[in-house]
Chains A and B, each alone.
Chain A
Amino acid sequence: MNWEPNIIAATTEIFSTMLMMEVVPEPALSERVTKHNDSISGIIGLAGSYKGMLAIHAPAPVAMTITTNFLGMEVDSLNDDVKDAFGELANMLGGSVKSGLSENSRDIQLSIPSAVCGEEYTLDYQPKNRTTSVPFKTGEGTFVVELQLEKQE
């Protein structure tokens, strides 16, 4: 299954509704990006009939702009507000994607979201899972929404 339309629909709806930000999807990345520099990643796991994770990765300046729009207050570093905002963005994106995977949603569970940030880190959840990564352009730069999913038999 091609998850790209699900990712684009969920991301554009959340950003336009709750952040009043226009984000423009770009063609999906052909290769996974596992190394991140001066960035933050909000992550949520999915378990049940589908197993995997959804992450939103953003470089620091983009993350601070997104959080400023989300909270309606200025942020000038990757502080706890930014981490919480990115956890919540992952939560909303995960919930939206989950709705598209399962009609009653009961057979897929979402984990509690989390966020990691730092000058240099690597995220490599399940390298064998199929991954779809879609970049989105903002006025400040680009962020990426990544979905790794494996259907459980």
Chain B
Amino acid sequence: MGKKVLIIDDSSTMRKIVTRSLRQAGLDFDTILEAGDGVEALQLLQNEKVDLILSDINMPNMDGIEFLRQKAGIDAIKGIPVIMITTEAGADILTEAKSLGAAGNIKKPFTPDQISEIIGPLV
């Protein structure tokens, strides 16, 4: 069965760019799912099994930190690795994300090489 990735970002531009960068990095997922915020992502994850989640932090409705917090309390999805893709480069925020289970982070702006280096080992 092919690999699935979920991209969570309120910007459709950024979702397109992350999708393009995954391809440019040679990380060809069979299915790329998208959600506009943490609420949409949690709803989608009730019906979809994914291998990896790439999430922004600064989003309306439910931000990336709250998404991590809620995901950690749901047995069916708490083991899915999450990489934060964000402009929020502050050490405190990234430490909090890590304490809530984030497997790593990619700072915007990024290159396909950086995507490959961080995501490659997880897939």
Cβ-defined contact, B108 with A95, below 8 A: yes
Cβ–Cβ < 8 Å partners of B93 in chain A: 105-106
Contact residues, A119-137 vs B (CB, 8 A): none
Contact residues, B23-76 vs A (CB, 8 A): 58-60
Measured CA separation A104–B92 after assembly (Å) = 6
Cβ of B3 under 8 Å from chain A: no
Measured CA separation A70–B14 after assembly (Å) = 9
Cβ–Cβ < 8 Å partners of B59 in chain A: 112
Cβ–Cβ < 8 Å partners of B110 in chain A: 17-18
In the complex with contacts A14-B109, A91-B11, A92-B109, A99-B89 CB distance below 8 A? yes
Measured CA separation A92–B56 after assembly (Å) = 12
Query: Total interface residues on B, using CB and 8 Å?
Result: 23
Smallest Cβ-Cβ distance to B14: which chain A residue: A88
Cβ–Cβ < 8 Å partners of A87 in chain B: 11, 13
In the complex with contacts A18-B110, A104-B92, A81-B17 CB distance below 8 A? no
Cβ–Cβ < 8 Å partners of B99 in chain A: none
In the complex with contacts A88-B14, A92-B108, A105-B58 CB distance below 8 A? no
Question: Nearest Cβ distance between residue B96 and chain A, in whole angstroms?
Answer: 9
Most chain B C-beta atoms within 10 Å of own C-beta, residue among A88, A102, A103, A104 = A88
From the candidates B17, B58, B91, B111, name the one contacting A110 in the complex (CB within 8 A). B58
Main secondary structure of the interface of A (DSSP, over half): helix
Cβ–Cβ < 8 Å partners of B91 in chain A: 103-105
In the complex with contacts A81-B13, A88-B13, A105-B109 CB distance below 8 A? no
Cβ–Cβ < 8 Å partners of A33 in chain B: none
Cβ of A28 under 8 Å from chain B: no
Binding site for B on A (CB under 8 A): 13-14, 17-18, 70-72, 80-81, 84-85, 87-88, 91-92, 94-96, 98-99, 102-106, 110, 112-113
Binding site for A on B (CB under 8 A): 10-14, 16-17, 20, 58-60, 86-93, 108-111
> Can you name 12 A-B pairs with beta carbons within 8 Å?
A17-B111, A18-B17, A18-B110, A71-B13, A71-B17, A88-B11, A92-B108, A95-B86, A95-B108, A98-B87, A105-B90, A112-B60
